[in-house]
Amino acid sequence: MINRSRHFFYPGESVPEGQVRVTMLGTGTPFPRRGQAGTCMFVEAGEQKIFFDCGPGSSANFTSLGISFDLADKVILTHHHVDHIGDLGSFWVGGWTYGRRTPFRVWGPEGTEKIVEHHREIYEWDLSTRTPFLKNLRGKEIQAHDYEDGTIFDEGGVKVSAFKVTHTDPQNSYGLKLEAFGKKLIFSGDTKKCNALIDNAQNADVIIHEAFPPTEIYAEKSGRPLALARQVCEVLHTSPSEAGAVFAATQPKLGIIFHMYNNDDLIAPALDDVRKNYDGKVIIGQDLMVVDIGDEILVRKAVVDDKPWPVAPAGVKIGEN
Ligand SMILES: [Zn+2]
Ligand SMILES: [Zn+2]
């Protein structure tokens, strides 16, 4: 086994047995930023590798890890906002082009099957141009499953279930609970502080919860009127102090905040706001942060290549698989 750095994650290091690893491929919002991709959590547990959401820019962060697309064929969507689904086409078509040999599987709330059907139409020409050159035709398939509350996925000792959260009108947003090897991970998706999450997150090892910056700071930085900022930060989303209240009510080993404008000068005000309600361990998520969930929680920064080359599936060449 590779000697693990306690500070840096070097791609290629396998997930220790019995542990769950989350690599944050995107921690951002609908506002596209070069330094912060749209929301995407890459979860690895046993043989299972699953994306939770696939926001814009997240597929480039994925390839920077040097993992073959062949090993990444599942995404569970929490809801259909663009900052959570924008890279669906890149993962599906790009993943097939660069080595995935199995169908891309997509789960999501009601409407997901329709969105996937539209993707098939949008990329019909694209797929037809590649088909003569690619042998792995099962990889160009995409399968969609609409889910409701309850178990979505249960394979290889890894169980993922969904619970409805409170985000926008009309409501069609879910949080996700992953249970594997006695470990429990909660991903809020987008939500304001809600009891469904608190109920599901009891005894969780790690809770990844969304939060917007404190309202006044967001209004000032974004140039948006205070009333609109309040609507965004406090009605559609969770404030850092409310995220602190969620952590206080659930007591995870580690609380992680995402969906935050995580600029250096916002970290301290956001954490100050969290501390109004919670004094446990909490961090503000950054893209390419790697969290290993074992008996202890190890948080590291991935060391990656900004201009990676494709990684072929084991034992075959890309295009000959
Ligand atoms: Zn969002
Ligand atoms: Zn949203």
Q: Tell me how far the alpha carbon of residue 190 lies from the centroid of ligand 1, in angstroms.
A: 6
Average predicted confidence (pLDDT) for the chain: 96
CB atoms within 5 A of ion ligand 2 belong to 81, 190
Could you report the per-residue pLDDT of 287-302, keeping only the tens digit for each?
A: 999 999 999 999 999 9
Lowest mean pLDDT among 100-104, 134-138, 156-160: 134-138
The answer to whether the CB of 187 falls within 8 A of the CB of 291 is no
Q: Give pLDDT, residue 37.
A: 98
Q: Tell me how far the alpha carbon of residue 209 lies from the centroid of ligand 2, in angstroms.
A: 13
**Does residue 175 fall inside a structural domain?**
yes
The secondary element (H helix, E strand) that includes residue 107 is strand 104-108
**Does residue 7 fall inside a structural domain?**
no
Q: Give the count of domains, the chain.
A: 1
Q: How far from chain centre, in Å, is Cα 33? A: 16
The phi-psi region of residue 152 (left if phi > 0; otherwise alpha if psi is between -120 and 50; otherwise beta) is alpha
Q: Tell me how far the alpha carbon of residue 315 lies from the centroid of ligand 1, in angstroms.
A: 38
**Does residue 317 fall inside a structural domain?**
no
The secondary element (H helix, E strand) that includes residue 144 is strand 142-146
> Phi and psi at residue 226, in whole multiples of 5°?
-60, -40
**Does residue 246 fall inside a structural domain?**
yes
For the chain, report the end-to-end CA distance as a whole number of angstroms. 29
Lowest mean pLDDT among 115-124, 138-147, 166-175, 306-315: 306-315
The phi-psi region of residue 46 (left if phi > 0; otherwise alpha if psi is between -120 and 50; otherwise beta) is left
**Does residue 315 fall inside a structural domain?**
no
**Does residue 247 fall inside a structural domain?**
yes
DSSP 70: G
**Does residue 12 fall inside a structural domain?**
no
Q: Tell me how far the alpha carbon of residue 45 lies from the centroid of ligand 2, in angstroms.
A: 26
**Does residue 318 fall inside a structural domain?**
no
Q: Give pLDDT, residue 319.
A: 66
Burial degree of 200 (CB within 10 A; 0-12, 13-18, 19+): buried
Could you report the per-residue pLDDT of 123-152, keeping only the tens digit for each?
A: 999 999 999 998 889 999 999 999 999 999
Q: Tell me how far the alpha carbon of residue 237 lies from the centroid of ligand 1, in angstroms.
A: 9
Range of the domain at 293: 19-302
Q: Tell me how far the alpha carbon of residue 173 lies from the centroid of ligand 2, in angstroms.
A: 8
Look up the CATH number of the domain holding residue 25: 3.60.15.10
Q: Tell me how far the alpha carbon of residue 162 lies from the centroid of ligand 2, in angstroms.
A: 16
